[in-house]
Amino acid sequence: MNGHFAIAIDGPSGAGKSSLARRCAEAFGFVYVDTGAIYRTVGLAALRRGVDRRDEEAVKSILPELAIEMRYNDAGEQRMYLNGEDVSAEIRLPEVSLCASDVSALPAVRAFLLEMQRKMAREHDVIMDGRDIGTVVLPDAELKIYLTASAEARAERRLKELVNKGVETSFEEVLRDIRYRDEQDSGRAAAPLKAADDAVTVDTTEIDFEASFRVFCAVIREHLGLLPREERA
């Protein structure tokens, strides 16, 4: 034990990991670490440079040139910086999502980013979400949660997010991207997406965000003995 709590949340693309992790971090006073945003930043760098994102040697060659920073603004929101540029909005574009899924399958990329993620957990109480947090990045996390939902439910939620951000796309396109990422994430050789043996599985297909948040709070209370800040005496 390093004196800090670590909650690892894994699950497929669009399951709501980031939204729930962010809400729980606020409620319990933890630092939220969106690891997907880190891989999206590498994906964006590969896309901008015209690098074949499935070619490990090609992607590996640009890694030394990348200064990736995770900062938090006054509202506690995580912002991603690539060589000093705030790319937090650009990394959410659909084409970057596909790049992120491809580069995240490369062992060289995962090794490059591993220490950055572990350092956050050593220094803070963290809620960290991704694809292999409980299995690879933080195998000793005090609590591991595997969050899932049907592909159709995830596509509907992601479509709403994109539309709200002004991104023009269709349900069919988003569903296709979701299924592609599921196949890539689960089938890759390096740290494939799967639930840790000791993870608590939460399926949100049939429940909304508020109900999902209540389930998370109950799981955290049961396993860590912690209460949301507003409920503490």
The answer to whether residue 142 scores a pLDDT higher than 80 is yes
Summarised one tens digit per residue, pLDDT across range 37-55 is 999 999 999 999 999 999 9
When pLDDT is averaged across residues 164-182 and rounded to a whole number, the result is: 92
Look at the chain and count its residues: 233
The answer to whether residue 71 scores a pLDDT higher than 80 is yes
Between CA 179 and CA 151 the distance in angstroms is 7
pLDDT band per the 50, 70, 90 thresholds, residue 1: very low
Q: So what's the pLDDT on residue 189?
A: 81
| CATH superfamily entry for domain 6-231 | P-loop containing nucleotide triphosphate hydrolases (3.40.50.300)
Summarised one tens digit per residue, pLDDT across range 85-135 is 999 999 998 889 889 989 988 999 999 999 889 988 999 999 999 888 999
The answer to whether residue 4 scores a pLDDT higher than 90 is no
Summarised one tens digit per residue, pLDDT across range 5-31 is 999 999 998 898 989 999 999 999 999
Contact of 42 with 109, CB cutoff 8 Å: yes
Between CA 21 and CA 213 the distance in angstroms is 9
Contact of 21 with 129, CB cutoff 8 Å: yes
The better pLDDT of the pair 95, 190 is held by: 95
